[in-house]
């Protein structure tokens, strides 16, 4: 459930008409609902209430500091994958002991930064990384809590670009080699084993792959404990999918996911961490756009929007579906017609939908891309020299710009013409 509903004939974000935001900020713009973000975070928190746990929001999904502040103040931990994300979480007031540092290629500089600032744990992804972290921690005179991300070789049954738990993927250490790796950690200075980490992919709509992976983690917990390691924390990753099309069968909800976790690892007495991103932010945000032209084509009409692939890359990159709705509520029984919905960028891939049935649309009509809160604004670029898309947060009847649209001057003045080019 989200808080984007039609009221008085017009789509609202909580109590704010989207027309008001479009008029004040312009389009395209991302709009987030605070009530929806908090609701989704709390669903996970409640789903794990049967035992000690921490819901670490995957910052990569939507990393605006205002969103991190909202979730952090509600008690969320954070899962970060770079120094930039770590700094964002800290800037939002999240204490280091609630921040988990994940990621395949942590650099020495990043390690030093988070060790100095404080971190709950570092999830190791490879042996070279483990050895480097040991050296860095020992040099800094600290002992860092670590887990090893194991690759359980489970098919997540999701899009190939976002599946991470097969042996051919670059992520983690093969689960069969985990005991050796944990044994080496014990011999290295500066590292203290606290648990195991696993993450098998994103937009999972079936609980079975989670169950298989968690069962393997439970078995490994037993084996590692028998080897003398203190496994007290299990980081079970993120990945629970969301309904992108209202017409689809809804994927399992956090409560059902929490029940699977309890069944598979609940008996181990470990603190459970999870790292959901998409389910918290996805349906808590939409991308608001305006129609520039309606162009008649050969056998089809094109809706040319002022949002483009640089603002929302998911359709171009993953062939992803986003529901696109008019901000003006269509009257009951309104006839629809098929449109190809595209952006102004000079690539055929800048297509959001083909033959999408929509009510008749005219220039300047506002439309909203639903389910765009996760992996939307964070993946935006300035391709075609289109200024970075702004973001707005709504809470009740309040709203604020949380990332302004840069001016063209700002965009151009970030760059520099070298002396030797400007001299002549």
- Per the DSSP assignment, residues forming a β-bridge with 303 are 294, 341
Our finding on whether 129 is near ligand LLP (CB under 6 A) is no
- Torsion angle in degrees (nearest 10) through CA of 323, 324, 328, 329: -30
What's the closest the beta carbon of residue 85 comes to ligand LLP, in angstroms?
Answer: 11
Our finding on whether 276 is near ligand LLP (CB under 6 A) is yes
Our finding on whether 61 is near ligand LLP (CB under 6 A) is yes
| HSE toward the beta carbon, residue 356, CA cutoff 13 A | 21
Q: Are 384 and 310 in contact (CB under 8 A)?
A: yes
Cβ count within 10 A of residue 331:
8
Report the residue number, 207 or 328, with the smaller CB distance to ligand LLP: 207
Distances (CA, A) of 193 to 225, 354, 392: 11, 51, 41
Our finding on whether 58 is near ligand LLP (CB under 6 A) is yes
# chain residues binding ligand LLP, by CB under 6 A: 20
Q: Are 312 and 349 in contact (CB under 8 A)?
A: no
Quick one: which of 41, 42, 39, 56 has its CA closest to 271? Answer: 56
Structure tokens at 102: 């994940």
**Contacting range for ligand LLP; rule: CB under 6 A; set: 62-70, 173-181, 231-239, 286-294:** 231-239
- The one among 2, 275, 323, 350 contacting ligand LLP by CB under 6 A: 275
What's the closest the beta carbon of residue 149 comes to ligand LLP, in angstroms?
Answer: 7
What's the closest the beta carbon of residue 240 comes to ligand LLP, in angstroms?
Answer: 6
Our finding on whether 314 is near ligand LLP (CB under 6 A) is yes
Residues 6+ apart with CB under 8 A from 36: 1, 2, 3, 4, 283, 284, 373
- Choosing from 226, 332, 346, 423, the catalytic residue is 346
Q: Are 96 and 114 in contact (CB under 8 A)?
A: yes
How deeply is 270 buried, as exposed, middle or buried, from its count of CB atoms within 10 A (0-12, 13-18, 19+)?
buried
**Contacting range for ligand LLP; rule: CB under 6 A; set: 87-95, 272-280, 289-297, 364-372:** 272-280
C-alpha torsion sign, points 4, 55, 71, 42: positive
- Residue ranges of the alpha helices (H) in 204-331? 208-226, 254-265, 278-281, 314-318
What's the closest the beta carbon of residue 14 comes to ligand LLP, in angstroms?
Answer: 23
Our finding on whether 322 is near ligand LLP (CB under 6 A) is no
- The one among 14, 45, 79, 85 contacting ligand LLP by CB under 6 A: 79
Our finding on whether 277 is near ligand LLP (CB under 6 A) is yes
What's the closest the beta carbon of residue 369 comes to ligand LLP, in angstroms?
Answer: 13
- Per the DSSP assignment, residues forming a β-bridge with 196 are 148, 234
Contacting ligand LLP within 232-271 (CB under 6 A): 237-239
Report the residue number, 28 or 277, with the smaller CB distance to ligand LLP: 277
| Known active-site residue 346 | yes
Report the residue number, 278 or 386, with the smaller CB distance to ligand LLP: 278
Cβ count within 10 A of residue 67:
27
Our finding on whether 375 is near ligand LLP (CB under 6 A) is yes
Q: Can you give the binding site for ligand LLP, defined by CB under 6 A? A: 58, 61, 79, 102, 162, 199, 202-203, 237-239, 275-279, 314, 318, 374-375
The residues annotated as belonging to the active site are 346
């Amino acid at each position: 459930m989200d808080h984007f509903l039609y009221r008085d004939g017009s789509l609202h974000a909580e109590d704010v008409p989207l027309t008001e935001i479009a008029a004040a900020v312009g389009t395209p713009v991302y709009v987030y609902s605070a009530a929806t973000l908090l609701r989704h975070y709390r669903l996970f928190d409640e789903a794990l209430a049967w035992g000690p746990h921490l819901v670490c929001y995957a910052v990569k999904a939507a990393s605006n500091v205002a969103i991190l502040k909202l979730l952090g103040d509600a008690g969320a931990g954070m899962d970060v994958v770079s120094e930039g994300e770590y700094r964002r979480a800290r800037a939002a007031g999240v204490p280091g002991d609630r921040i988990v540092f994940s990621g395949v290629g942590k650099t020495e500089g990043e390690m030093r930064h988070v060790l100095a600032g404080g971190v709950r744990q570092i999830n190791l992804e490879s042996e070279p990384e483990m050895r480097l972290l040991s050296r860095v921690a020992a040099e800094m005179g600290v002992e860092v809590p670590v887990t090893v991300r194991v690759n359980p070789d489970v098919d997540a049954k999701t899009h190939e670009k976002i599946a991470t738990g097969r042996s051919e993927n670059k992520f983690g250490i093969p689960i069969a080699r985990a005991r050796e790796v944990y044994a080496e950690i014990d011999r290295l200075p500066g590292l203290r084993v606290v648990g195991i980490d696993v993450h098998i992919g994103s937009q999972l709509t079936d609980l079975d792959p989670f169950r298989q992976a968690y069962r393997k983690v439970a078995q490994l917990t037993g084996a590692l404990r028998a080897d003398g390691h203190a496994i007290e924390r299990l980081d079970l990753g993120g990945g629970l999918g969301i309904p992108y099309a209202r017409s689809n069968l809804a994927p399992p909800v956090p409560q059902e996911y929490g029940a699977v976790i309890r069944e598979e690892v609940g008996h181990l007495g470990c603190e459970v961490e999870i790292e959901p991103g998409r389910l918290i932010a996805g349906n808590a945000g939409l991308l608001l756009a305006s129609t520039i032209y309606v162009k008649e084509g050969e056998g089809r009409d094109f809706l040319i929007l002022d949002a483009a692939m640089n603002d929302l890359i998911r359709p171009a990159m993953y062939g992803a579906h986003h529901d696109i709705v008019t901000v003006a509520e269509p009257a009951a029984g309104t006839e629809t017609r098929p449109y190809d919905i595209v952006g102004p960028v000079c690539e055929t891939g800048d297509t959001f939908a083909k033959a999408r049935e929509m009510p008749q649309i005219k220039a300047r009509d506002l439309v909203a891309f639903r389910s765009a809160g996760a992996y939307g604004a964070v993946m935006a670029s300035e391709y075609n020299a289109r200024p970075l898309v702004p973001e707005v947060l709504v809470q009740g009847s309040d709203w604020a710009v949380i990332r302004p649209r840069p001016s063209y001057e700002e965009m151009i003045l970030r760059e520099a013409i070298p002396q030797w080019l400007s001299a002549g």
